């Protein structure tokens, strides 16, 4: 039996497991994939957004994360695809199961991140889903390319395909494109088709026009393991400020699966560290019989915000909640270099 099972070895899970291990807890880091690094493994682009880490591609960032976890001897199981998480009926802790094996622990951290929405399409040699290597591995030189979606990633990928020598690129979006104007300006307006469209992966057509390559860019969704019903908001796991999942004793979540902070590597790393410290505090508190530190106490009464010029009631309310809406688009991070 472990103290902690961390599910997902992206930046959030890897950072959490590294800290837990160094704080002296018995931890096991699990990932369905064959390498540590999460979404960064999908990025051949230079990551300009991690303070103090310069000039590295996402894949290099992932490699460095893996080297760090390995050199610190953090116990790790790759190829462990978690299919169920449940609290044991005899109250002896949590059970995390893959196809043929179950592991047990006092605490579980869900750090399973997010995945590109596929919208019913399947990745093939001519169809890419989401940004990064799924698109970059396809040779588009001299090809007819259709990009489906109207966000930053869609227009990013359209620009990249043109730069890589595509014969023509059309962008299909059901609604008015949401992408930043700076990206939209790079695609001629007659190549952007707004309105309902019918895309057929088998025939490789969109609205009956034939294409050689399809790029599905429908954004991201939380990747939540099955077998447990969790409190969700907009499809992401609800956590308190310690990363604890309310009402689930010993269950925590970190990183992009929570949408707690703006999604990027730095916040995922930080969230993993925060959860590790919350678990250590709880572990120590439990050993001494004290109240665990992560239990949310009733919110203190706050004075009503003063209505001054320029501060609308909604804005004041948002400030009290600790910030504004959290952006979802990964392209917020770097329009050109991801
Ligand atoms: C193309 C691309 C470029 C990007 N560029 C940047 C950038 O320049 N700068 C930046 O800061 N951010 C960038 N990002 C975003 C950044 O990669 C993510 O914000 C970050 O990786 C989130 O970390 P995470 O640990 O929360 O989740 P993830 O990185 O998604 O890791 C989750 C892990 O959980 C595993 N997992 C999922 N389900 C299961 C399961 N059931 N069982 C076991 N394991 C499971 C997955 O295999 C994965 O390894 C980019 C993302 C993409 C796709």
The pLDDT of residue 281: 95
**pTM for the full model?**
0.86
The pLDDT of residue 291: 61
Rounded to whole angstroms, the Cα distance separating 96 from 108 reads: 8
Query: pLDDT of 13-59, one tens digit each?
Result: 999 999 999 999 999 999 999 999 999 999 999 999 999 999 999 99
Cα 120 to ligand 1 centre (Å): 21
Rounded to whole angstroms, the Cα distance separating 330 from 238 reads: 20
Q: Is the CB of 16 under 6 A from ligand 1?
A: no
Q: Is the CB of 44 under 6 A from ligand 1?
A: no
The pLDDT of residue 152: 95
CATH topology (fold) of 127-216: FAD/NAD(P)-binding domain (3.50.50)
Rounded to whole angstroms, the Cα distance separating 66 from 62 reads: 6
The CA dihedral of 189, 195, 201, 205, to the nearest 10 degrees, is: -60
The pLDDT of residue 264: 96
Rounded to whole angstroms, the Cα distance separating 265 from 12 reads: 8
Rounded to whole angstroms, the Cα distance separating 214 from 144 reads: 9
- Range 234-237 contact pairs with CB under 8 angstroms and sequence separation of 24 or more: 234/259, 237/110
Q: Is the CB of 82 under 6 A from ligand 1?
A: yes
Q: Where in the chain is the domain with CATH 3.50.50.60?
A: 2-116+220-288, 127-216
Strands 213-216 and 127-129: parallel
Q: Are 285 and 291 in contact (CB under 8 A)?
A: yes
To which CATH superfamily is domain 2-116+220-288 assigned?
FAD/NAD(P)-binding domain (3.50.50.60)
Write the DSSP string, 201-244: TTTTEETTEE-SEEEE---EEE---SS----EETTEE---TTSB
The pLDDT of residue 292: 57
Q: Which of 47, 113, 252 to mutate to test the pocket of ligand 1 (most atoms within 8 A of CB)?
A: 113
Cα 128 to ligand 1 centre (Å): 17
User: Which segments of the chain have a pLDDT < 70?
Assistant: 291-338
The pLDDT of residue 288: 87
3-state SS, residue 132: coil
Of all atoms in ligand 1, which is nearest to the CA of residue 37? 49
CA 202 vs CA 117, 121, 137, 142, 214: distances in Å: 19, 10, 20, 21, 11
Write the DSSP string, 308-332: -TT--HHHHHHHHTTSSPPP--GGG
Cα 37 to ligand 1 centre (Å): 7
Cα 171 to ligand 1 centre (Å): 26
Query: pLDDT of 145-173, one tens digit each?
Result: 999 999 999 999 999 999 999 999 999 99
Q: Is the CB of 264 under 6 A from ligand 1?
A: yes
Cα 16 to ligand 1 centre (Å): 14
């Amino acid at each position: 039996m472990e103290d902690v099972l961390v599910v997902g070895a992206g930046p959030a899970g890897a950072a959490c497991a590294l800290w837990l291990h160094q704080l002296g807890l018995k931890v096991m880091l699990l990932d369905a994939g064959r390498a540590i690094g999460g979404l960064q493994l999908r990025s051949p682009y230079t990551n300009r957004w991690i303070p103090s880490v310069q000039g590295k591609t996402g894949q290099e960032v992932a490699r460095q994360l893996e080297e760090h976890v390995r050199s610190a001897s953090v116990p790790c199981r790759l190829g462990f695809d978690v299919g169920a998480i449940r609290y044991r009926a005899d109250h002896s802790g949590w059970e995390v199961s893959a196809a043929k094996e179950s592991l047990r622990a006092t605490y579980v951290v869900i750090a399973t991140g997010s995945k590109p929405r596929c919208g019913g399409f399947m990745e093939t040699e001519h169809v890419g889903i989401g940004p990064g290597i799924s698109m970059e591995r396809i040779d588009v030189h001299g090809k007819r390319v259709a990009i489906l979606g109207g966000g930053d990633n869609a227009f990013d990928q359209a620009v990249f395909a043109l730069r890589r020598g595509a014969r023509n690129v059309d962008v299909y979006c059901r609604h008015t494109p949401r992408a930043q104007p700076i990206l939209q300006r790079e695609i001629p307006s007659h190549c952007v088709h707004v309105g309902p469209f019918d895309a057929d992966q088998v025939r490789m057509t969109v609205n009956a026009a034939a294409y050689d390559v399809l790029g599905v860019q429908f954004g991201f969704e939380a990747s939540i393991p099955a077998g447990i019903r969790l409190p969700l908001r907009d499809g992401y796991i609800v956590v308190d400020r310690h990363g604890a999942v309310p009402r689930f004793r010993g269950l925590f979540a970190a990183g992009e699966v929570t949408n707690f902070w703006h999604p990027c590597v730095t916040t995922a790393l930080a969230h993993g560290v925060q959860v590790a410290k919350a678990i250590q505090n709880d572990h120590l508190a439990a050993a001494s019989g004290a109240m665990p530190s992560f239990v949310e106490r009733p919110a203190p009464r706050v004075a009503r915000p003063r209505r001054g010029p320029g501060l609308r009631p909604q804005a004041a309310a948002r400030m009290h909640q600790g910030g504004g809406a959290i952006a979802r688009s990964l392209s917020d991070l770097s329009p050109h270099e991801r």
